[in-house]
Structure 1
């Protein structure tokens, strides 16, 4: 084989092309972008987050928060590949108490969109900055003094320079449901944060903050239909160094449409088919045959006993002691069912009072 021909020479790819290729791992759809940006806001300690979406995120994804903010000179580093404030060594990956750590998200997003970032630190607003990037190319970097600290990030024209990616964007309904799922996940995990959500030209949705003890109220506001509020069963349990908080609906219905199924570990949203099956199999004893309801499972596991570095989108988790986690979930669901079946029995058999 002749490697000296013009067409077969091995060349180093330019940085912007590397970013666009890697973006395929992190930015598969608008919901991935939204997730990464919301994680940054939470990591920055924001207590208020404003979300604006247009055309299901393809035209605009805007996140405005009141978090710690960044200095003018830090802004370019935030959009460099493998630049992060979250870890300093490989071992830190297994001691994470933040979302981000790979330092890939903003670089990937900025390579396939037109992005504008305004940010200022809490301790010195005059040291704030503005950075505009189009397709991985910096257009403007300047000092910027806002009226308050925090970060405002606007992602416009997603995939404008990689039109082939648009072919893989799913239907409007599918993309909107994916965006809603990400928003709901953060609403549920962070009840103490006030969220504002605006879809296209519709009225802004406001989610006031609740204490962690009142999380069931936030969950009901998020997943419960307005006309017929859902009834949630709640249970807490622990085993060794692991703990769990379960919220499961009493109501059930056939099919999966409109069902809210959320798994969290240390406030991080993840998916796991085996855990899903454990929950469904145990809840068959309570829900009507062939029906399912809503569930939210929140696990707290020591950081060094989970691996979140399985995939760039960070939604796949490996548990060091998986059997302990699975057993805790199963036992907790059984406990929840037992307690609520007993309560339901007491209500049905309670004496009635007659007045006359």
Structure 2
């Protein structure tokens, strides 16, 4: 039998290794930023074009490299961070595997310019698909500039699997923010397609958080600090009233390295137990310092997962520290048996002396006397009892006036729970009758404030009011976005909302679709979103709910432009505006919802492919009683 096992060529092995390190442009950004930090840079600039597909360039003022080091940095398993296997258990740097630059150079065009401090000239190297094209001396500032162009130029299949520019840009921004948050003592800047996205000067941790997520974040933060023998905790948690339904603002850093840990996240959630609104998630920026020998950061290719020696101790410390901070700043109720704040002396009376109150008793007071007794020392006044005879004459003539045409108007209690205006009819006249027979005007009933029961010829239909209303609103919004004939209501005063740069980028991507539903946008810059008009189907107070739900639905992926984007927008708005289970509906609203549902093109399923109604025939009922 002939031998069939062969060694892979170097360029093929490099491309396979690159698949673990370089998954998308954001992977390149992460590796290059970490290299710049390890080089001791005090200022780092990131330049991106076409979300990193065309260009990713990192410029830093770090140590720089000699011509030999510059050439060696692109070799596989070449690193300056570790020398022995024991160094893997005492890591204090970002990159240590020696695969990043080699993997990037295997799937892109790379141009490197670097000069160490003290050298008169630097080194310029160009590589295409692991092949060195040129290496020459050049004039360049101290530090390193590395440009990655045409990512995956030699692997078309990988390039075709990349998402749209908006999706890839959001991943790049996420990696940039994680690195910037971990190092507030380094100045960062980011540019995309020659437009500035971030300009972050050096500062403390709180200043860096506010610079990234907007000025309104300052009032939302609660400091967290604790130091023990095995763990040091610093950072901030966001007050419960400002929590969101998205996971966006959840950051764990261990030894200045961003990590993901469901176990530690559960500890934070447990500390917020009973404080968060329904379905809201805690937001936090927490920095943990532990002994490098007690963690293993080499268990995942992206180094975002870490294994701790004693996770249970970290869980308990983190949970108790956050609980203490929430109680210390009066965010959570605290039981303190040493003092009662209600017994504290008010500020106005703190410096006043104690005066014994004087009590005077009127000993001449007789409660059974018709004329009140005068106070001591006062003369008894002449008191005349009012004459109340003939009080019946006050109402004489009232009956005759009422019969003459005057009426008495009583206030009527306002009916709540009406989704629709009185007398509003759907385009289809009782479509349910066309499919299931006739019904009376009062033949709809609400069950458990969640289901609508209606009679049909063959039995009855039970409708989930939330899912049914989702289907009605979904088709309405989809029609408005497609036809672009929505109606807007102008706001007397513009509505100003604050969002992070990432969230505003998502809103910009969907701006056209939102405008087709009836939104009118004003200024969108920095962290400010100004809204001048809203759809007629929603109120001003519902606008933040609609946008937050939209951002929550787009948390994982932003759909490409086209129908999928429109579909996501319509689904999200329908989900946030649909009547919820537990709301009482009057007969008009129930009738209108039933008729509107069966006027839809797909009345049987909700936008999320769930049943909107079920039918129970007479035969089904007969079988129940056998």
TM-score normalised by length of structure 2: 0.52
Cα shift at 1:11: 1.8
- Aligned residue in 1 for 2:278: 289
- Aligned residue in 2 for 1:243: 232
Cα shift at 1:86: 0.2
CA–CA distance in structure 1, aligned partners of residues 2 and 37 of structure 2: 50
- Aligned residue in 1 for 2:76: 81
CA–CA distance in structure 2, aligned partners of residues 167 and 267 of structure 1: 34
Alignment of 1:53-92 (within 5 A): 53-92=48-87
From 140, 144, 148, give the equivalent of 2:138: 144
Cα shift at 1:333: 1.4
Residues 1:47 and 2:36 aligned together: no
- Aligned residue in 2 for 1:271: 260
Equivalent position SS for 2:196: coil
- Aligned residue in 2 for 1:97: 92
CA–CA distance in structure 2, aligned partners of residues 314 and 342 of structure 1: 35
- Aligned residue in 2 for 1:218: 208
From 174, 192, 195, give the equivalent of 1:199: 192
- Aligned residue in 2 for 1:303: 292
| Structure with larger RCO (C-alpha < 8 A, sep 6+) | 1
Cα-to-partner distance string for 1:60-91 (whole Å, 9 max, x where unaligned): 11000000000012111101110000000000
Equivalent position SS for 2:188: strand
From 181, 186, 189, give the equivalent of 1:188: 181
> Residues 170 and 276 (structure 1 numbering): CA distance in 2 closer, same or farther, change over 3 Å?
farther
Cα shift at 1:238: 2.2
> Residues 53 and 238 (structure 1 numbering): CA distance in 2 closer, same or farther, change over 3 Å?
same
Cα-to-partner distance string for 1:270-327 (whole Å, 9 max, x where unaligned): 1111112221232233332321242111110101111111122111111112222222
Equivalent position SS for 2:41: coil
Moved more, 162-171 or 95-104: 162-171
Equivalent position SS for 2:68: coil
- Aligned residue in 1 for 2:306: 317
CA–CA distance in structure 2, aligned partners of residues 266 and 311 of structure 1: 17
Task: Tell whether the 8 Å contact from 1:223 to 1:260 is kept in structure 2 after alignment.
Answer: no
Task: Tell whether the 8 Å contact from 2:326 to 2:332 is kept in structure 1 after alignment.
Answer: no
Cα shift at 1:120: 0.5
Equivalent position SS for 1:141: strand
Of structures 1 and 2, the larger Rg is shown by 2
CA–CA distance in structure 2, aligned partners of residues 317 and 174 of structure 1: 27
Cα shift at 1:340: 2.0
> Residues 228 and 295 (structure 1 numbering): CA distance in 2 closer, same or farther, change over 3 Å?
closer
From 149, 158, 172, give the equivalent of 1:156: 149
- Aligned residue in 2 for 1:331: 320
Moved more, 215-224 or 45-54: 215-224
Residues 1:107 and 2:107 aligned together: no
Cα shift at 1:266: 0.3
Task: Tell whether the 8 Å contact from 1:252 to 1:287 is kept in structure 2 after alignment.
Answer: no
- Aligned residue in 2 for 1:233: 222
Cα shift at 1:237: 0.8
CA–CA distance in structure 2, aligned partners of residues 352 and 58 of structure 1: 64
CA–CA distance in structure 1, aligned partners of residues 253 and 95 of structure 2: 16
Unaligned runs of 5+ in 2: 335-340, 349-626
Task: Tell whether the 8 Å contact from 1:252 to 1:291 is kept in structure 2 after alignment.
Answer: no
CA–CA distance in structure 1, aligned partners of residues 331 and 116 of structure 2: 53
CA–CA distance in structure 1, aligned partners of residues 345 and 74 of structure 2: 63
Task: Tell whether the 8 Å contact from 2:188 to 2:199 is kept in structure 1 after alignment.
Answer: yes
Task: Tell whether the 8 Å contact from 1:125 to 1:149 is kept in structure 2 after alignment.
Answer: no
RMSD: 2.2
Aligned residues: 339
CA–CA distance in structure 2, aligned partners of residues 88 and 18 of structure 1: 24
Task: Tell whether the 8 Å contact from 1:114 to 1:156 is kept in structure 2 after alignment.
Answer: yes
Residues 1:18 and 2:8 aligned together: no
Cα shift at 1:45: 0.4
Cα shift at 1:235: 1.2
Cα shift at 1:155: 0.4
- Aligned residue in 2 for 1:177: 170
Alignment of 1:343-354 (within 5 A): none
Equivalent position SS for 2:329: helix
> Residues 220 and 290 (structure 1 numbering): CA distance in 2 closer, same or farther, change over 3 Å?
same
TM-score normalised by length of structure 1: 0.89
